[in-house]
Amino acid sequence: MTTTTLTGKIALVTGGSRGIGAAIVRRLSAEGATVVFTYASSADRARQLEAEIEAAGQRAVSVQADSADPQALRAVVARVVAAHGRVDILVNSAGVLVYKDLDATTLDEYDHVMAVNVRAHFVAIKEALPHMGQGGRIVNIGSMVADRAGGPGSTLYVASKAAVAGLTRGLARDLGPRGITVNNVQPGPTETEIVGDESVRAWLRTQMPVGRMGQDSEIASLVAYLAGPEAAFINGAMLTIDGGFVA
């Protein structure tokens, strides 16, 4: 069930054309926010999402921007501010996943993962801050792998998501006095295309105390709550939403 707790709010969601990011765009729009979301290469999917939200009588606009490119992120924030005058909600959802044997991992891959999964958060936040006032909400999308690596081949992804957790804690201290909260949502195994192998999904379900993987809409519901007025006292939190996977 959705409400309209975000009516009149301006939200920017990075990486919003698919998976958890798209679910967040849908939910924030349904809650009444005007949403601008970025995509790196999935133009058709971004347009489809725009059309879906418009058909529901809500507002969302997509903008192409590679989160690995700081200039592209700066341009997106500038576009939002030019159109709406401010940013009330920033959700840093864009991310890349690299699972490889350490011996086969390159420095270029390290740089790319950190650029998208960590640096992009920092850049978007820095650019949005001058246009975000009291009651501003920043939500980073991390991962439960920051607390439990889970298996071999995950070093780059784990390191990047642990960095997001640290970034969130520091920012909560820096921005809390300005009336802006910063929190980190850490999803566990979720039914999105990022886990495309059904045999992997079947194994993951056996590891879940609730007997299933999460739904992207469930992650989005937590993000929407953190973006709303009732979450004003939640700041610097690592909110794991994983069905008890790391319990």
Domain 10-241: state its class: alpha beta
User: What tokens were used for 213?
Assistant: 């993987």
Task: Please state, in angstroms and rounded to a whole number, the distance separating the CA atoms of residues 241 and 60.
Answer: 26
Q: What pLDDT sits at residue 152?
A: 85
Confidence check: pLDDT of 192 > 90: no
Question: In this predicted model, what pLDDT tens digit does every residue of 53-88 receive, in sequence order?
Answer: 999 999 999 999 999 999 999 999 999 999 999 999
Task: Please state, in angstroms and rounded to a whole number, the distance separating the CA atoms of residues 132 and 127.
Answer: 10
SS3 35: strand
Q: Give the mean pLDDT of 153-161.
A: 95
User: What tokens were used for 240?
Assistant: 């794991």
Task: Please state, in angstroms and rounded to a whole number, the distance separating the CA atoms of residues 67 and 11.
Answer: 17
Q: How confident is the model at residue 197 (pLDDT cuts 50, 70, 90)?
A: confident
Task: Please state, in angstroms and rounded to a whole number, the distance separating the CA atoms of residues 115 and 60.
Answer: 26
Q: What residue spans define the domains of the chain?
A: 10-241
Instruction: Give the type of residue at 150.
Output: G
Q: Give the mean pLDDT of 114-129.
A: 98
Q: What pLDDT sits at residue 14?
A: 98
Residues marked active site are found at 157
